[in-house]
Structure 1
């Protein structure tokens, strides 16, 4: 017999209006923002942080980036305090560059 898990869900306005306290570890899905929160058993919905948020930055503003000869399919690796591009072969071989 297969089991299914359904995460508690609602729109942003529904969550804000109800403002529940999720149980510790209970998940809530905001269907408006497509974002997930996890309860701690104490904090109301509107004060809980989202688990994953998208962050964007202009590469020209980033101070911890060092790209050389970008090629389609390159991977990013954080190495010696900087994000650097590399290919899969370098990553598998240790990627010390």
Structure 2
């Protein structure tokens, strides 16, 4: 059962783990988590960091909003091509604009 409404939103991101950084894209976003499309398997339980530039047109704000997030991977499963990686958002902060 979902805890929050998910919004389909495709945004480019760079995911950071303890081992590496790599490009990904969001599939959907909620207040508590994100589903990413990745080109590699990410270990369940891995701590990750990423930043989302939320478009002003979606938020209804005068300009885009940059949000720095940290969380952990809760599952990763094959989705051709690549993988879907689901992660919680444990902490976030808005960047100074």
Bigger strand fraction: 2
Task: Specify if TM > 0.5.
Answer: no
**TM-score, normalisation: structure 1:** 0.28
| Larger-gyration structure (1/2) | 1
**TM-score, normalisation: structure 2:** 0.28
Flag the structure with more relative contact order, 1 or 2, with Cα contacts below 8 A and sequence separation at least 6. 2
